[in-house]
Amino acid sequence: MACPVPEHEIEPNLRRAKVARYGVRSLLLAATLATASAVVGQVSSAPGGAQTDSETEPGIPVTDALTREKCGACHTADAKGNLSRISWVRTTPEGWDQAIKRMVRLNGAALTPDEARHIVHYLADSHGLAPDEARPVSYLVEHRVIDETNIPSESVRTSCAACHAFAQPLSWRRSSHEWKLLQDFHIALYSQADSQYRRPAVDEPGEVFGQTTPVVHKPGAIPLTSGQVALAYLRKVAPLHSPEWDAWSQREQSPHLAGKWLVSAHLPGKGVYFGTLEVTPGASGEAFVTHTTLQSLNGGPSLSTSGGGVVYGGYTWRGRAQTGATGKLAPDSLDQPVREVMQFSSDRKSAVGRWFWGEYQEFGYDVTLARADGAPVIGAISPGGIRAGAKGQALRILGDAFPAGLTTRDIDLGKGLTVTRIASATPGELVVDVDAAADVASGLHDVTVGSAVLPAALPVWHTLSYIKVTPETAIARLGGAAHPAGYGQFEAWGYDAGPDGKPHTADDVKVGLVDADFSIEPFRSTWYDDDIKYVGGISKAGFFTPNLDGPNPQRSGDRDNLGTVWVVATAKTARDSHGDPLSAKAYLVVAVPSFKRWDQPEVTQ
What single-letter amino acid sits at 387? Answer: R
Q: What is the pLDDT of residues 521-580, one digit of tens each?
A: 999 988 888 999 999 999 999 999 999 998 999 998 899 999 999 999 999 999 998 999
Q: Is residue 98 part of a domain?
A: yes
Are 408 and 472 members of one domain? no
Query: Does residue 599 fall inside a structural domain?
Result: no
Backbone φ and ψ of 456, nearest 5°: 45, 45
Is residue 178 predicted with pLDDT exceeding 60? yes
C-alpha pair distances (Å), 174 with each of 53, 57, 137, 204, 541: 16, 10, 16, 22, 46
Task: Write down the pLDDT at residue 284.
Answer: 85
Q: Other C-beta atoms within 10 Å of 179: how many?
A: 28
pTM, 2 dp: 0.88
Distance of alpha carbon 531 from alpha carbon 348, whole angstroms: 49
Domain-located, residue 604: no
Judge contact between 97 and 120, C-beta under 8 A: yes
Whether 83 and 72 have beta carbons less than 8 Å apart is answered as yes
Q: How confident is the model at residue 32 (pLDDT cuts 50, 70, 90)?
A: very low
Q: Report pLDDT for 212.
A: 60
Which amino acid makes up residue 247?
Answer: A
Listed residues 202, 225, 248: the one ending a domain: 248
Output the CA angle 22-594-11, nearest 5 degrees.
80
Q: Could you tell me how many residues make up the chain?
A: 605
Q: Is residue 598 part of a domain?
A: no
Are 18 and 92 members of one domain? yes
Whether residue 14 has pLDDT greater than 80: no
Give residue 223's pLDDT. 78
Judged against a pLDDT cut of 70, whether residue 420 lies above it is answered with yes
* 225 secondary structure, DSSP code: B
Shared-domain flag, residues 478 and 332: no
d(CA 255, CA 280) in angstroms, rounded, equals 12
Q: Does the structure show a pLDDT above 70 at 231?
A: yes
Measured in whole angstroms, the distance separating CA 60 from the mean position of its chain's CA atoms is 28
Do residues 420 and 433 make contact, with C-beta atoms less than 8 angstroms apart?
A: yes
Position 377 scores a pLDDT of 97
d(CA 558, CA 551): 5
Per DSSP, the residues of 147-213 read B------HHHHHHHSSSS-THHHHTEEE-HHHHHHHHHHHHHH-HHHHHHHHSBPSS-HHHHTT--S
**Residue 87 is part of which domain span?**
7-248
Last residue of a domain, one of 322, 347, 372: 372
Give the CATH number, domain containing residue 283. 2.40.128.120
Q: How many CB atoms lie within 10 A of CB 581?
A: 15
**Angle CA(409)–CA(273)–CA(358) in degrees, nearest 5?**
155
Q: How many CA atoms lie within 13 A of 65 on its CB side?
A: 0
ω into 471 cis (within 30 of 0):
yes
Cα 382 from Cα 122, distance rounded (Å) = 42
pLDDT per position as a tens digit, 477-499: 999 888 999 999 999 999 999 99
481: how many CB neighbours lie within 10 A of its CB?
11
With CA atoms as reference, report the closest residue to 320 among 332, 336, 308, 310.
308
Distance CA 76, CA 74 (A): 6
Number of domains in the chain: 4
Residue type for position 385: G
127 and 207 within one domain: yes
* 108: Cα within 13 Å, side-chain hemisphere: 4
DSSP 59: -
What confidence score (pLDDT) does residue 53 get?
A: 61
Q: What is the pLDDT of residue 315?
A: 95
d(Cα 350, Cα 317) in Å, to the nearest integer? 12
602 lies in a domain? no
8 A C-beta contact, residue 303 and residue 271: no
Question: b/e string for 495-528 if b means 16 or more Cβ within 10 A?
Answer: bbbbeeeeeeeeebbebbbbebbbbbeebeeeee
Domain co-membership, 158 together with 88:
yes
CB atoms within 10 A of CB 146: 19
One-letter amino acid identity for 186? H
- Comparison of pLDDT for 27 and 543, the residue scoring more: 543
Within a 10 A sphere around the Cβ of 427, how many other Cβ atoms?
12
Residue 428 covered by a domain: yes
Asked if 338 and 576 count as a contact pair (C-beta separation under 8 A), the reply is no
451 pLDDT more than 50: yes
Q: Identify the pLDDT of residue 44.
A: 37
User: Higher-confidence residue: 221 or 323?
Assistant: 323
Tell me how many degrees the CA angle 273-277-282 measures, rounded to the nearest 5.
Answer: 150
pLDDT value for 336: 96
- pLDDT, position 6: 34
Give the separation between CA 601 and CA 565, rounded to whole angstroms.
Answer: 32
Both 306 and 384 in one domain: the answer is no
Of 248, 275, 301, which residue is a domain's last? 248
| pLDDT higher than 60, residue 66 | yes
Residue 601 located in a structural domain = no
Q: Residue 34: which residues within 8 A CB-CB, separation 6 or more? A: none
Whether 360 and 145 have beta carbons less than 8 Å apart is answered as no
For residues 67 and 203, membership in a common domain is answered with yes
Within a domain: residue 535? yes
Residue 296 pLDDT level (bands cut at 50, 70, 90): very high
**Pairing between strand 536-538 and 543-546?**
antiparallel
Residue 95 and residue 129 in one domain: yes
In the chain, the largest separation of any two C-alpha atoms, in whole Å, equals 81
With pLDDT > 70 as the criterion, what percentage of the chain qualifies?
A: 88
pLDDT confidence of 605, banded at 50, 70, 90? Answer: low
Amino acid 224: pLDDT: 87
DSSP conformational letter for 280: E
Q: Is there a single domain that holds both residue 357 and residue 308? A: yes
State how far the Cα of 559 lies from the Cα of 528, in Å rounded to an integer: 15
User: What is the structure's pLDDT at 400?
Assistant: 97
Contacts 24+ apart (CB under 8 A), 334-337: 334/267, 334/270, 334/301, 334/303, 336/363
**Digit-coded pLDDT (tens) for 301-358:** 899 999 999 999 999 999 999 999 999 999 999 999 999 999 999 899 999 999 999 9
Residue 535, domain CATH: 2.60.40.10
Instruction: Output the pLDDT for position 41.
Output: 36
Angstrom distance (rounded) from CA 358 to CA 336: 8
Would you place residue 419 in the very low, low, confident or very high pLDDT band (cuts 50, 70, 90)?
Answer: very high
pLDDT digits 0-9 by tens, 278-291: 999 999 889 999 99
The reported pLDDT for the residue numbered 216 is 55
* Mean pLDDT value of segment 577-599: 91
> What is the number of other CB atoms lying within 10 angstroms of the CB of residue 301?
10
* Residue pair 175/54 in contact by the 8 Å Cβ criterion: no
Are 185 and 50 within one domain? yes
**49 pLDDT above the threshold of 90:** no
User: What percentage of the chain has pLDDT greater than the value 90?
Assistant: 77
pLDDT of residue 215: 54
Same domain, 147 and 40: yes
The rounded distance, in Å, linking the Cα atoms of 9 and 4 is 10
Whether 58 has a pLDDT exceeding 60, the answer reads: yes
Question: What's the mean pLDDT when you consider all of the chain?
Answer: 88
| Per-residue confidence (pLDDT) for residue 217, from 0 to 100 | 59
130 pLDDT more than 60? yes
CA separation for the pair 436, 372 (Å, rounded): 30
Closest CA to 274 of 374, 397, 152, 401: 397
pLDDT band at residue 213, thresholds of 50, 70 and 90? Answer: low
Give the per-residue pLDDT at 599: 72
361 and 414 in a common domain: no
